[in-house]
Amino acid sequence: MDKSINIILVSLNDKFCKSVGIQLSDTLEMFSANCEELIIYDLINPKEVLQKCGIEYLRKREKAVVKNCSEYENTVITVSYDLFKSYSDLFNRSLKVYIKLPQGKQDKVPNSLDYVVRDELLTKNSDITVELEQKSNKKCIDLLLKKLGDYYENC
């Protein structure tokens, strides 16, 4: 695998995605980053920044952090659905992987329509989709490694 390429992991379950991202980065001997945590670190207190500076400033800072994150190399980067939706174009030199869990296995369970809309957006804008029947880090890592191998074999 090209060491300059990043792997972007996104799921409708952020906690599970982050956990898988850490394990995948260890397995592939890559770095690991979580965009949400980097934004919080950069802004220290995003809620206070929003109240004092407004949504436009918050979005600009958020975008700057995501852009910086997209320029990393050899990194597994986990992003939330909202960040992926807003800034997926910034990850154009990254391999985008959607970890698809069955409806009802998300952090915040969206209604059926929201789930379908989010699932369609993630499926459409990802290079690889890993479908799981249940949350299992081991199963997810095994499937991810197989899909990554297949992807790079066919490039």
Residue 134's CATH number? 3.40.50.300
- Please indicate, yes or no, if residue 72 is contained in any of the structural domains: yes
Q: What is the pTM of this model?
A: 0.89
Q: How far is CA 31 from CA 5, 7, 16, 134, 144, in A?
A: 11, 10, 18, 26, 17
pLDDT for 1 equals 56
Q: Is residue 120 part of a domain?
A: yes
User: Which residues lie below 8 Å from residue 54, measured CB to CB, with a gap of 6+?
Assistant: none
Rounding to the nearest 10 degrees, give the CA dihedral for residues 61, 67, 73, 78. 70
pLDDT at site 106? 63
> Could you give the angle at the alpha carbon of 91 between the alpha carbons of 72 and 143, nearest 5°?
90
Confirm if 106 and 35 have CB atoms less than 8 A apart. Answer: no
Would you say residue 112 lies in a domain? yes
44, part of any domain:
yes
Residue 1, in any domain of the structure: no
Total domains in the fold of the chain: 1
Kindly state whether residue 49 falls inside one of the protein's structural domains.
yes
Identify the pLDDT of residue 97.
98
How far is the C-alpha of 33 from the C-alpha of 22, rounded, in Å? 8
Domain span at 97: 6-153
Q: Is 123 part of any domain?
A: yes
Per-residue pLDDT of the chain (155 residues; tens, 9 = 90+): 565 689 999 999 999 999 999 999 999 999 999 999 999 898 888 888 889 999 999 899 999 999 999 999 999 999 999 999 999 899 988 999 999 998 766 656 556 668 889 999 999 999 999 999 888 999 999 999 999 999 888 76
